[in-house]
Amino acid sequence: MGFIDHLIVNAEGNSVELNGAQILVQSLKDEGVEYIFGYPGGAVLHIYDAIFQQDDVKHILVRHEQGATHAADAYARATGKTGVVLVTSGPGATNAVTGIATAYMDSIPMVVISGQVPSPVIGSDAFQEVDMVGISRPCVKHNFLVKDVTKLAETIKKAFYVASTGRPGPVVVDVPKDITDPNIKVPYKYPRKVTMRSYNPAVEGHKGQIKKAVELLLSAQRPMIYSGGGVILGEASRELIELTRTLGYPITNTLMGLGAYPATDKQFIGMLGMHGTYEANMGMHESDVILAVGARFDDRVTGKLAEFCPYAKIIHIDVDPASISKTVKVDIPIVGQVKPVLTQMIEQIKESKKQPSKKALAAWWEQIDKWRSVQCLEYDRESPLIKPQYVIEQLYEVTKGDAYITSDVGQHQMYAAQYYHFDKPRRWINSGGLGTMGFGLPAAIGVKLAFPEADVACVTGEASIQMCIQELSTALQYKTPVKIINLNNRYMGMVRQWQEFSYESRYSHSYMDTLPDFVKLAEAYGHVGMLVENKADLRSALEEAFAMKDRTVFMDIITDRTENVYPMIESGKGHHDMKLRIAPGTPTDRELA
Amino acid sequence: MRHIISILIENEAGALSRVAGLFSARGYNIESLTVAPTEDSSLSRMTLVTRGNDDIIEQITKQLNKLVDVVKLIDLAESAHIERELMMVKVKTSEATRAEIKRIADIFRGRIIDVTPMTFVIEMTGTSDKLDAFVKAIDETTIIEVVRSGATGICRGEKGLHL
Ligand SMILES: Cc1cc2nc3c(=O)[nH]c(=O)nc-3n(C[C@H](O)[C@H](O)[C@H](O)COP(=O)(O)OP(=O)(O)OC[C@H]3O[C@@H](n4cnc5c(N)ncnc54)[C@H](O)[C@@H]3O)c2cc1C
Ligand SMILES: Cc1ncc(C[n+]2csc(CCOP(=O)(O)OP(=O)(O)O)c2C)c(N)n1
Ligand SMILES: [Mg+2]
């Protein structure tokens, strides 16, 4: 298998025998793991005992296993390292499933170690037994059931290898209790490298394809670069910026790709898709050549497939061949890691004698600027109520655009994406693919552990925050002072918006009644609570909150409950068919009122 | 179109459920699936028969290849290949029908492998089409049981599926 083994040796130079629990913990240490997010229980008690007896790998005790998965996932999103979770069998494992699926949908590297009942009783409906390998199978990149303690270290290595390479994703390692038996000791070896004959993810792109792609790109009249989460996962932001600047083409990012290209740059035309900008969606619609980079043509992005980019030839770079031509047929597929492929493309462009047509490009930018002038993200700034968009704008200013922003799911998530202009990758931490409410708070804790000096804010809604509110306790225990920006509209705003548009405002069960007093709740958990009801107080309240460097602050901000997210492509519509807040030239809601 | 996909997969517990689960989760059609170990005990070979247009088949092969345990696969429909399925059919017989059933089985190169006063068991191999044709050719009311293995296949010539 060709690896340089890491052998634990004692003073005499003999290899030391370890039990399974120690092997597991030692493997994590040798893998360079800093934090494990977990929750104990019967099946993992041996492991917890081994954790107790060392302090290299730090354990973060969450309050619910879902919280552990989101915190580990966000730690991975913010750092690029693999997040690690430890849960017990049965309910511990099932509680982790939502978080595993969340990481799976967004291709986040994560290793989840779940306890399992002892091997001899597997299959007997033993106490706290669930078939975790079976339950997790559809939402993991891969999973393992450890059957032999002598294979444990190698299995852990494989789990990290699979989770973090190719298209990343979560890997579950199910460890029966007998495998971690303190009395069974075997020699410990942690492989530095593993190879698997059945797993060989692509790296470099095909030269011929790259050449063809560059030819096409350089001949474009109305080009568009559409980049996604793959650029962030593949650490290729620098290359993307270089390529985009070299070409002078407009660029749009998916929700998952925000920050890969600086949002404040003039070539950036905003997010695309359902709640993307008018200019990005119109640009896609009218484009003749699209370069898709590490993006997967999600339905939130494409809208009605039959009307998607009717005039465009499409180049698609993706490490996962199954992402290519899955929903949208592309013309030039390039399978490979974004970083080397973009590097190859940049070289090709520099070598090429061809130049993009200056005239065509100027005309194209002129068209884009016309779309931009619609100012699709404008909202009623004069409103006496606190507009959620205004909160995000103020948050952006107070944090100088340099905070890590986690979010939950709903309108607040879209406002954060639209109005916090992410200039750097890994700053925007949200659940895009699964859209998991409850993600934001544990995610903020995971990020803050990774970057204790940075400002970390969780933009949330009064419904989402209650799904993992118990993690306020974790935040206190581990002193992770995050700022919770609760855009409290007393509605499941996103649901209400759809009901307003598509169900004649029948607000079926989307009203959040009997809300807790969030200020008191925060205080009960040992944090600072702030209620902001007046627009005039918002700025100073935010400043005050962020000045409290060592406190978690829960800001309950009472926002305009009727506000909707615009622009919007309603389901079943195409990019060119956007619903705008204000059709160009018409008076605002308030002017009419 | 009908495709026969042959897969070499790590002979690990759960390998079968990964493949079967993929088909049900993604709503792909699966007509038959056979699994058995190969001459290399660390590998299993699966043969599955599915239907779909080119786009669907492309996604199926990509998704199968993406399974970490899948070592290699081949779509037999893409090249010259031999397809075989094993079938056993139990039929009711009587003095009057025995000869006729035997005659049809002979035409299809079937063999009678069990005989009782009231029944025959006929064994037959061939392409799935041929087996279908045989079942159609005999009197439906005489059939007690039809057991089919599902199709397997192999490439003609040098080409093949191996490590
Ligand atoms: C309420 C709500 C509203 C939403 N609205 C929108 C919206 O308006 N617009 C929008 O864009 N999204 C929206 N989303 C998110 C949407 O559901 C998808 O999650 C998102 O569009 C997917 O982003 P992506 O295409 O960048 O793919 P990702 O999920 O980030 O996938 C990355 C792709 O890159 C590939 N990849 C990974 N690593 C590499 C590498 N190193 N090299 C090469 N390729 C790699 C992967 O194989 C994959 O194909 C919304 C979500 C929610 C919850
Ligand atoms: C776990 C989970 N359940 C249900 C949903 C469906 N859903 C999407 S947004 C939303 C409402 C969110 O309300 P809130 O957190 O208050 O945010 P707002 O839209 O009001 O900003 C719901 C219920 C979901 N995404 N996740
Ligand atoms: Mg709300």
The CATH number given to whatever domain includes residue B124 is 3.30.70.1150
Residues A331 and A404 in one domain: no
Clarify whether residues A545 and A471 are in a common domain. yes
CA B67 to ligand 1 center in whole angstroms: 21
Which residues have a Cβ under 8 Å from the Cβ of A280 and sit 6 or more positions away? A252, A269, A270, A271, A272
Q: Is residue B138 part of a domain?
A: yes
User: From the CA of B114, how many Å to the nearest CA of chain A?
Assistant: 39
Name the domain boundary from B78, B94, B123.
Answer: B78
Regarding whether A554 and A457 lie in a shared domain, the answer is: yes
Q: Are residues A78 and A13 part of one domain?
A: yes
**Residue indicated by tokens 């993706």:** A318
Question: A4-37 as b/e, with b when 16 or more CB fall inside 10 Å?
Answer: eebebeeeeeeeeebbbbbbbbbbbebbebebbb
**Domain identity same for B72 and B10:** yes
> How many Å apart are CA A479 and CA A472, to the nearest integer?
10
Last-in-domain residue among B60, B78, B96: B78
Are A327 and A416 part of one and the same domain?
no
Assembly ipTM: 0.93
Last residue of a domain, one of B78, B106, B121: B78
- The partner residue sitting opposite B25, judged by closest CB among A138, A143, A320, is A138
**Would the CB atoms of B71 and A326 count as touching at under 8 Å?**
no
Give the contacts of A504 (CB within 8 A, at least 6 positions apart). Answer: none
Residue A571: its pLDDT value, please?
86
Q: Is the CB of residue A292 below 6 angstroms from any atom belonging to ligand 1? A: no
Is the Cβ atom of A338 under 6 angstroms away from ligand 1?
yes
Residue A10 and residue A148 share a domain: yes
Q: Do B14 and A133 touch (CB under 8 A)?
A: yes
User: Which ligand 2 atom is at minimum distance from the Cα of A98?
Assistant: 1
For chain A, the maximum distance between any two Cα atoms, rounded to a whole number of angstroms, is 86
Minimum distance, in Å, between the CA of residue B29 and any CA atom of chain A: 17
Residue A303 Cβ < 6 Å to ligand 1:
no
For residue B159, tell me if it sits in a domain: no
| Claim to verify: residue B56 and residue B106 sit in the same structural domain | no
Residue B161 is assigned to a structural domain of this protein = no
In a domain, B26, yes or no: yes
Q: Using the beta-carbon criterion (under 8 Å), do A142 and B66 form an inter-chain contact?
A: no
Find the helix packing angle between B15-25 and B54-66, rounded to 10°.
Answer: 140
Q: Is A255 in the pocket of ligand 1 (CB under 6 A)?
A: yes
With respect to residue A68, please indicate whether it lies within any of the assigned structural domains.
yes
Q: In angstroms, rounded to a whole number, what is the distance separating the alpha carbons of residues A536 and A551?
A: 23
Does any domain span residue A591?
no
Within a domain: residue B158?
Answer: no
Q: Looking at residue A406, which CATH number applies to its domain? A: 3.40.50.970
Same structural domain, B72 and B90 = no
Domain range for A143:
3-187
Preferred mutation among A136, A145, A198 to probe B, highest tally of B CBs within 10 A: A198
Q: Is residue B157 part of a domain?
A: no
**Number of C-beta neighbours around residue B30 at 10 A:** 17
Ligand closest to Cα of A490 equals 3
- Out of A69, A95, A488, A492, give the residue to mutate to test ligand 2, the one with the largest number of ligand atoms within 8 Å of its CB: A492
Q: Within this chain, do residues A414 and A526 fall inside the same structural domain, yes or no?
A: yes
d(CA B55, CA A468): 41
CATH of the domain at B12: 3.30.70.260
With an 8 Å Cβ cutoff, are B163 and A199 in contact?
no
Q: Cβ of B53 under 8 Å from any chain A Cβ?
A: no
Q: Are residues B53 and B87 in the same domain?
A: no
Residue A366 alpha carbon to ligand 1 centre in Å: 29
Task: Tell me, yes or no, whether B24 and B61 share the same domain.
Answer: yes
Same domain assignment for residues A430 and A551: yes
Instruction: Tell whether A370 is within 8 A of chain B (Cβ).
Output: no
Contacts of B70 in chain A (CB under 8 A): 198
Residue B57 lies in a domain: yes
From A145's Cα to the closest Cα of chain B, the distance in A is: 9
Residue B162 located in a structural domain: no
Residue range B33-80, pLDDT digits in tens: 999 999 999 999 999 999 999 999 999 999 999 999 999 999 998 899
| A379 within some domain | no
- Residues in A touching B18 (Cβ below 8 Å): 137
Pick from A408, A359, A328: nearest CA to A575: A328
C-beta atoms of B58 and A325 within 8 A: yes
Q: Are B94 and B135 within one domain? A: yes
Domain residue limits at B50: 2-78
Domain edge (last residue) among A187, A222, A237: A187
Are A289 and A407 members of one domain?
A: no
Q: Is the beta carbon of A435 within 6 A of some atom in ligand 1?
A: yes
- Do residues A232 and A131 both lie within one domain? no
Average pLDDT of B77-100? 95
Q: What is the mean pLDDT of chain B?
A: 95
Catalytic (active-site) positions of A: 65, 127-128, 177, 494
Record: contact B14-A137, CB cut-off 8 A: yes
* Residue A592 domain-assigned (yes or no): no
Same domain, B94 and B141: yes
Question: Chain A within 8 Å of B37 (Cβ-Cβ)?
Answer: no
The total domain count for chain A is: 3
Q: Both B65 and B117 in a single domain?
A: no
Return the ligand 2 atom nearest residue A413 CA. Answer: 21
Query: How close does chain B come to A246, measured CA to CA in Å?
Result: 34
Contacts with B65 from chain A: Cβ below 8 Å: 321-322
- Pair A245, A368 in one domain: yes
A443 exposure class (CB count in 10 Å sphere: 0-12, 13-18, 19+): buried
Instruction: Let me know whether B9 and B73 are in one domain.
Output: yes
Residues A540 and A399 occupy one common structural domain: yes
- Interface A-B, measured as beta-carbon pairs within 8 A, has a size of 40
Domain count, chain B: 2
Using DSSP, how many helices (H) and how many strands (E) does chain A show? 21, 22
Number of H helices, E strands in chain B: 4, 9
pLDDT 10s per residue in chain A (593 long)? 333 455 566 656 667 899 999 999 999 999 999 999 999 999 999 999 999 999 999 999 999 999 999 999 999 999 999 999 999 999 999 999 999 999 999 999 999 999 999 999 999 999 999 999 999 999 999 999 999 999 999 999 999 999 999 999 999 999 999 999 999 999 999 999 999 999 999 999 999 999 999 999 999 999 999 999 999 999 999 999 999 999 999 999 999 999 999 999 999 999 999 999 999 999 999 999 999 999 999 999 999 999 999 999 999 999 999 999 999 999 999 999 999 999 999 999 999 999 999 999 999 999 999 999 999 999 999 999 999 999 999 999 999 999 999 999 999 999 999 999 999 999 999 999 999 999 999 999 999 999 999 999 999 999 999 999 999 999 999 999 999 999 999 999 999 999 999 999 999 999 988 999 999 999 999 999 999 999 999 999 999 999 999 999 999 999 999 999 999 999 899 999 999 987 655 554 444 44
Cβ distance B9 to A198 less than 8 Å, yes or no, reads yes
What pLDDT is recorded for position A10?
A: 61
Q: Which of A372, A401, A425 is the last residue before a domain boundary?
A: A372
pLDDT of residue B21: 95
CA B127 from chain centre, in angstroms, equals 8
Quick check: A322 contacting B, CB < 8 Å? Answer: yes
Q: Which residue among A251, A255, A327 has the greatest number of ligand 1 atoms within 8 angstroms of its CB, and so is best to mutate?
A: A255
Q: Are residues B68 and B124 in the same domain?
A: no
**Based on C-alpha coordinates, what's the Rg of chain B?**
18
Model pLDDT, residue A581: 87
Q: What is the SS3 string spanning B87-124?
A: EEEEEECCHHHHHHHHHHHHHCCCEEEEECCCEEEEEE
CATH of the domain at A239: 3.40.50.1220
- Residues in A closer than 8 angstroms to B58, CB to CB, are 325
Together in a domain, B91 and B136 = yes
CB-CB neighbors (< 8 A) of A136 in chain B: none
Q: Which residues of A touch B63 (CB under 8 A)?
A: 322
Residue with tokens 């705003």: A493
A104 vs A143: CA distance, rounded Å: 12
Which of A274, A437, A559 has most ligand 2 atoms within 8 Å of CB, for mutation?
A: A437
B71 and B87, same structural domain? no
